[in-house]
Amino acid sequence: MCAQPEPDANADVHPEGRTVLDSRDIARALTRIAHEILERNKGAADLVLLGIPSRGVPLARRVGERIRDVEGVDVPVGALDITMYRDDLRRHPARSPHPTQVPPGGIDGKTVVLVDDVLYSGRTVRAALDALNDLGRPDVVRLAVLVDRGHRELPIRADHVGKNLPSARTERVMVRLADTDDVEGVWIG
């Protein structure tokens, strides 16, 4: 009988913490999210993806690319800055706004999918809904997140989730994307 090599106890440890998703896992999760969005929307018609800066924007672009690969249609992708809509500006005033980029054709009468990296308390999504309200009136608003870590403080739920990650409030979930961070993965620590 062959001796099995000892598993490396540090195989999934990174300076950011324990590895939860690597680049391949992220790619699979985004592909699944794109398919779920298309199925729920019954195609790509009247669909708009809006990423919440900073990492939601490249995630929205990636989901849009996957939808194009499946449907052969370019889905409008934009960015929705929520900085001035946050309820914690008094505690964290040093936030720099990102540009809001609404795709041509706007959001009125569309199915808007908000895309973010981590869903935690729900406060970021609440701010995004307030910001969206100032831009127009979509028919439907849905939420897609790469990671749902729980601990909601508001009654908000994601429609499309890449990974449910139960976590302690004291733990940090870090998402890093090659587009913004030169490294790709999700870590908890």
Q: For the chain, what is the mean pLDDT? A: 91
Structural domain total, the chain: 1
Q: By percentage, how much of the chain surpasses pLDDT 90?
A: 83
- Asked, for residue 148, whether it belongs to a domain, the answer is yes
Domain of residue 34, CATH code = 3.40.50.2020
- CA-based angle 180:183:184, to the nearest 5? 95
- Asked, for residue 90, whether it belongs to a domain, the answer is no
Are 81 and 131 within 8 A, CB to CB? yes
pLDDT at 15: 73
How far is it, in rounded angstroms, from Cα 31 to Cα 40?
Answer: 14
The model's pLDDT over 111-140, given as tens digits with 9 standing for 90+, comes to 999 999 999 999 999 999 999 999 999 999
- Asked, for residue 7, whether it belongs to a domain, the answer is no
The model's pLDDT over 164-186, given as tens digits with 9 standing for 90+, comes to 999 999 999 999 999 999 999 99
pLDDT at 3: 44
- Asked, for residue 11, whether it belongs to a domain, the answer is no
Confidence of residue 16 (pLDDT cuts 50, 70, 90): confident
The model's pLDDT over 71-80, given as tens digits with 9 standing for 90+, comes to 999 999 999 9
Domain that holds residue 76: 19-85+101-188
pLDDT at 129: 97
Lowest mean pLDDT among 7-21, 65-79, 161-175: 7-21
